[in-house]
Amino acid sequence: MTRKSPPRRVSSHGLSAQILSLKIGVLLALAVQGTAGCSWLSPRQDSLTDYAEARRSIENPVGVDAESPYGGGVFRPEGVSADRQKGATDFLDRLGLRSSRRKNIERARSLYTAGDELFEQAKQLQDNERAKVFRQAAAKYGQAAENWKSSGLEQDALLMAAESRFFAEDFYQAEQLYAQLVKEYPRNRYLDHIDSRRFEIADYWLKIDATAHKPFLFVNFSDNKLPWNDTGGHGKRVLEGMRLDNPTGRISDDATMRLAVEQFEKGDYESAAGTFEELRMTYPDSEHLFNAQFLELQSLLASYQGYKYSSDPVTEAQKRVKRMVKQFPRESSKREQDLNQAYAKIRFLLAERIWEQAEYRRKRSEYGSAKFHYQRILDEYSDTPFGEQARGQLAELQDKPDDPPQRFAPLVKIFGGTTDERPWLKNRDATSQ
Question: For 271-285, how does the pLDDT look when each residue is reduced to its tens digit (9 = 90+)?
Answer: 999 999 999 999 999
Judge whether 371 and 379 are in contact, CB under 8 Å: no
Domain boundaries of the chain, sorted by first residue: 49-101, 102-168, 353-432
pLDDT > 70? residue 136:
yes
Residue 99: partners with Cβ closer than 8 Å, 6 or more residues away: 89, 92
Model confidence band, residue 340 (pLDDT cutoffs 50, 70, 90):
very high
Res. 126: pLDDT tops 70: yes
Arithmetic mean of pLDDT over the chain: 82
| Distance of alpha carbon 131 from alpha carbon 120, whole angstroms | 12
Helix, strand, coil percent values for the chain (each to nearest 5)? 70, 0, 30
**Sequence-ordered list of residues with C-beta below 8 angstroms from that of 246, at least 6 positions apart, any chain:** 182, 191, 192, 195, 252
pLDDT in tens, 403-415: 887 777 677 677 7
Q: Does pTM surpass 0.85? A: no
At 135, the pLDDT band (50, 70, 90 cuts) reads very high
Cα dihedral 419, 424, 426, 429, rounded to 10, equals: -150
CA of 8: how far to CAs of 4, 5, 11, 14, 378, in Å?
A: 12, 9, 10, 12, 121
Task: Give me the pLDDT at residue 37, please.
Answer: 41
Amino acid residing at 267 = G
